[in-house]
Amino acid sequence: MKITNKHNKIIGFGSTVLLPGETKDIPAVYSEGHPLTDYYIANGWLEVIGGDNKNTAPKVDVTPKVENQKPLEPSMKLSREQLAVIAQEKGIEVSIDDTKKTILEKIETHESGANDDDADDDKDGENTGGDSEQ
């Protein structure tokens, strides 16, 4: 839609800026029927010059193809929520207090084959082998 700015101030529509007295095509999303555009027209701030919007682009499907998608590899580039989902899918408990680094460490420990239960027992002094004094 082609419009003219009749107001004495700059009016913006997304990345399109209209200076006072300037006429331009505005993005299709702001065409007539949009509350902001209708408000400006009703107040006399904009004048519709033409209804043909040259900025109307064909709609393109930008959703990723699921069949070609590789599973996410755990890394610090992922969000905490993404890491938590990966951990939970592997059967790893994640608490609300776990940070990205902690979750990533849990995943790496799980994948290396170490068992957290044995590690906890070693810290208590149990299961240290036959060398403990009694």
pLDDT in tens, 62-109: 555 555 555 556 677 788 888 888 888 888 898 888 998 998 899 889
Number of structural domains, the chain? 2
**Do residues 103 and 84 touch, judged by C-beta distance below 8 A?**
yes
Supply the range of the domain harboring residue 31: 2-50
Write out pLDDT tens, residues 60-70: 555 555 555 55
Q: Cα–Cα distance between 26 and 2 in angstroms, integer? A: 6
Query: Residue 37 falls within a domain, yes or no?
Result: yes
Residues 6+ apart with CB under 8 A from 128: 122
| 87 in a structural domain | yes
**The dihedral of CA 31, 32, 34, 36: what is its sign?**
positive
The pairs formed by 30-39 with CB atoms below 8 angstroms and a separation of 24 or more are 30/1, 31/1, 32/1, 37/1, 37/3, 37/13
Is 128 part of a structural domain of the chain?
no
The CB-based long-range contact list for 86-95 (8 Å cut-off, 24+ gap) reads none
Three-state DSSP class for residue 42: helix
> Is 111 a domain residue?
yes
pLDDT of residue 7 exceeding 80, the answer is yes
Within a 10 A sphere around the Cβ of 55, how many other Cβ atoms? 17
Residue 57 lies in a domain: no
Q: Global pTM?
A: 0.38
Q: Is residue 66 part of a domain?
A: no
